[in-house]
Structure 1
Amino acid sequence: MATAPAASMRSLDRALDVLGVLEDTRQPLRLSEVARRADLHVATAQRILNVLVERGYAAKEDSGYVAGPAAVATAHAFLVNNRLSQVALPILQELAATTGLTASLFVRVAFSRVLIARVQGRNPLRYQLPIGEKLPLTLGAGKALAAWLPEPELRAFIDQFTPFTRISGEQITADALARDLGRVRDDGYALSLSERVLDVIAVSAPIRHGEETLGALSVSGPHSELAEDDRPRIINEVRRAAGAVAARCP
Structure 2
Amino acid sequence: MATPASPMRSVDRAFDVLSVLEDARHPLRLSEIARRSELHVATAQRILNVLVDRGYAVKEEPGYVAGPASVATAHAFLVNNRLSQVALPVLQELAATTGMTSTLYVRVGLTRVPIARVEGLNPLRYQLPIGEKLPLHLGAGKSLAAWLPEEERDAYVDSVTPFTRISGERVSADDLRDELRRAKEDGHAVSLSERVLDVTAVSAAIHRGEQVLGALSVAAPSSDLPTADHPRVVTEVRRAAGAIAARCP
Q: What TM-score range do you get, normalising by the shorter chain?
A: over 0.9
> What is the rounded CA distance, in whole Å, between the counterparts of 2:2 and 2:143 in structure 1?
41
Q: Identity of counterpart residues, as a percentage? A: 73
TM-score with structure 2 setting the length: 0.97
Partner of 1:89: 88
In structure 2, the partner of 1:175 is 174
> Which residue is equivalent to 1:131?
130
Q: Secondary structure at the match of 1:105?
A: strand
Q: State the Cα distance separating 1:24 from its structure 2 match.
A: 0.4
Query: Letter of the aligned partner of 2:246 in structure 1?
Result: A
Name the residue aligned to 1:18: 17
- How far does residue 220 in structure 1 lie from its aligned partner after superposition? 0.1
Instruction: Show CA shifts across 1:182-231 (max 9, x none).
Output: 11011110000000000000000000122201000000000000121111
Q: Which amino acid is the alignment partner of residue 12 of structure 1?
A: V
Q: Distance in 1 between matches of 2:96 and 2:2?
A: 57
Cα offset for 1:245? Answer: 0.1
CA apart distance, 1:170: 1.4
1-side partners of 2:186 and 2:34: how far apart?
43
- SS state of the match for residue 232, structure 1? helix
Residues 64-113 of structure 1: CA distance to partner in whole angstroms, max 9, x if unpaired?
00000000000000000000000000000000000000000000000000
Corresponding position: 1:52 with 2:51: yes
Deviates more, 1:166-175 or 1:55-64: 166-175
1:190 match: 189
Instruction: Identify the residue that residue 159 of structure 1 maps to in structure 2.
Output: 158
CA–CA distance in structure 1, aligned partners of residues 186 and 53 of structure 2: 49
1:140-178, CA deviations, whole angstroms, 9 ceiling, x for partnerless residues?
A: 110000001111111111121112111111121111111
Measure the CA separation in 2 of the matches of 1:87 and 1:192.
26
| Alignment partners' CA distance in 2, 1:110 and 1:233 | 32
Cα shift at 1:3 = 8.8
Return the TM-score normalized by structure 1. 0.97
- Mark the CA change 1:178 to 1:2 in structure 2 (over 3 Å): closer, same or farther: farther
Could you list the runs of 5+ residues in structure 2 that have no partner in the other structure? none
Q: Which letter maps to 2:27?
A: P
User: Residue 104 of structure 2 corresponds to which residue in structure 1?
Assistant: 105
Q: What's the counterpart of residue 75 of structure 1?
A: 74
User: Which residue identity lines up with residue 203 of structure 1 in the other structure?
Assistant: V
Which residue number in structure 1 is paired with residue 220 of structure 2? 221
What CA RMSD, in Å, does the superposition of the two structures yield over aligned residues? 1.3
Counterpart of 1:64 in structure 2: which amino acid? G
After TM superposition, which residue ranges in structure 1, 4 or more long, deviate above 4 angstroms? 1-4
